[in-house]
Amino acid sequence: MSWVLAFLGFAALIVLHELGHFAAAKAVGMRVERFSLFFGKPLWSVRRGETEYCVGPIPLGGYVKITGMDPREELPEELQARAYHRAPVWKRIVVIAAGPLVNVALAVVIIVLLWGGKGVVPSGAPVVGSVDQRSAAATVLEPDDRIIRIDDVDGWVPGLRADDAPETLAALSAQVGRHRCAGGKRVEGCEAATPVRITFERDGERRTAEIRPRYDPTPGGRTDADGRMLMGITYGVDYLSADRGEAASEGVQYLWWVTKQTGRAIVKLVYDSEARKEISGVVGSYEVTRQSFELSTTRAIQILAVISLSLAIINLFPFLPLDGGHIFWAIAEKVRRRPIPYAWMERASIVGFALVIMLFGLGLYNDVGRIFGDGFQVR
């Protein structure tokens, strides 16, 4: 069932994005020839009025075909007034920007309803998401246990924000990694010579126990390319009660944090090889969503909201064939006060298309590596 739910979630994001373009084009008087979910030769289609609605075989997106997107296209006289490139610049910007704006609005609505409706906010406090029953932690920890401290490194702190979670989890993992196998030899499955002293909270009661982490030779990140010491747990999300208005406000602030992080991650691709290893693509996003549906529908919907926002941000980068590229050239035409030669845009689209393919290929490469390696660490 999780496969179907994840597919429907992604299809909804695509449909709503393209529906934004479609509705805006209709509103400003442009002629829409086709509304397609997915790419490729249509597997199914139906015509309603002047528009063909269809579903393609390649589930990597969708598109809205508007008459006159190519300025070289020869059109009958009666269609020229409704062609894209004959429309004023402001109309073109409205039509192109409508898709990403729908994704942004969708992310905001989902998060505000999820957090504000329930009066909860996720904190950065680490909790146990799942426990490997073959590990030493299986006899000590249970899902939803709050990690208070590992050795002398603090975990759960009241009021810790969700955007602090990556740093907190990295600090805890690094502390576990400081424990070494006896004799200093790292052999798969060997136990640490000294145990991890872990303080945790369960049902309001604080407990302390010792766990001997084991060595896993599988690379797991930028700080442990040669393997790592593991306790046998994954981390989950801790939710705290809050006023509904405060929760809704926190949700919007969280989305702004996601926006900044996404922008920084894309910029870092240019100069940081480690950042390129962290990029995920369509396959990874789908698999994370699917696994999240197995754990919690609420959590999966929240992930879809973040993916919707990320889709909008990436689409607004000023490279053709992305939406941001069309907006950029429309603004350039307005500044230049005359149409941009198609040859210029054609050359720019070659560069932009190459960048998009490289980004897609990098994400796919990383995703395949995770599938056959350490997984996506959703649990």
> Are 124 and 162 within 8 A, CB to CB?
yes
pLDDT for position 210: 93
- Mean local confidence (pLDDT), 94-101: 96
pLDDT for position 379: 47
pLDDT for position 80: 86
Name 198's bridge partners.
150, 209
For the whole model, what pTM was predicted? Answer: 0.77
What average pLDDT is seen over the chain? 84
Q: Strands of 133-241 (E only): list them.
A: 146-150, 153-154, 196-202, 205-211, 214-216, 228-230, 233-241
pLDDT for position 94: 96
Q: Which strands, in side-by-side order, build the sheet including 51-55?
A: 44-48, 51-55, 32-39, 58-66
As given in the structure block, the two tokens for residue 265 are 């991650």
- Mean local confidence (pLDDT), 182-203: 86
In the chain, % of residues over pLDDT 90? 29
Q: Does the pLDDT at position 160 exceed 70?
A: no
Confidence of residue 223 (pLDDT cuts 50, 70, 90): very low
pLDDT one-digit tens code per residue, 265-280: 888 887 777 777 778 8
The residue among 329, 293, 369, 248 whose CA lies nearest residue 71 is 329
Phi-psi region of 62 (alpha: psi -120 to 50; beta: other; left: phi over 0): beta
Cα-to-chain-centroid distance, residue 164: 18
Confidence of residue 71 (pLDDT cuts 50, 70, 90): confident
Amino acid at 231: M
- Mean local confidence (pLDDT), 220-228: 50
Cα–Cα distance measured from residue 179 to residue 229, given in angstroms and rounded to the nearest whole number = 7
pLDDT one-digit tens code per residue, 239-273: 777 788 888 888 888 898 889 888 888 888 877 77
- Mean local confidence (pLDDT), 151-167: 70
191-198 own/partner pairs: CB under 8 Å, 24+ apart: 191/136, 192/229, 196/150, 196/151, 196/231, 197/150, 197/151, 198/140, 198/141, 198/147, 198/149, 198/150, 198/231
Estimate the crossing angle of helix 342-371 against helix 323-336, to 10 degrees: 160
Q: Does the pLDDT at position 224 exceed 70?
A: no
pLDDT one-digit tens code per residue, 324-342: 999 999 999 999 888 888 8
Is the pLDDT higher at 184 or at 114?
A: 114
Q: Does the pLDDT at position 165 exceed 50?
A: yes
Complete domains list, the chain, with CATH: 2-115+301-371 (no CATH), 122-241 (2.30.42.10)
Count of H-run helices and E-run strands, the chain: 11, 12
Q: Please, which residues have CB within 8 angstroms of residue 107's CB and are 6 or more apart in sequence?
A: 255, 305, 306, 308, 309, 312
The residue among 70, 88, 74, 97 whose CA lies nearest residue 29 is 88
Q: Does the pLDDT at position 9 exceed 70?
A: yes
Phi-psi region of 292 (alpha: psi -120 to 50; beta: other; left: phi over 0): alpha
DSSP letters for 339-373: PPPHHHHHHHHHHHHHHHHHHHHHHHHHHHHHHTT
CA angle 360, 363, 365 (to 5 degrees): 105
- Mean local confidence (pLDDT), 205-221: 81
Q: Does the pLDDT at position 53 exceed 90?
A: yes
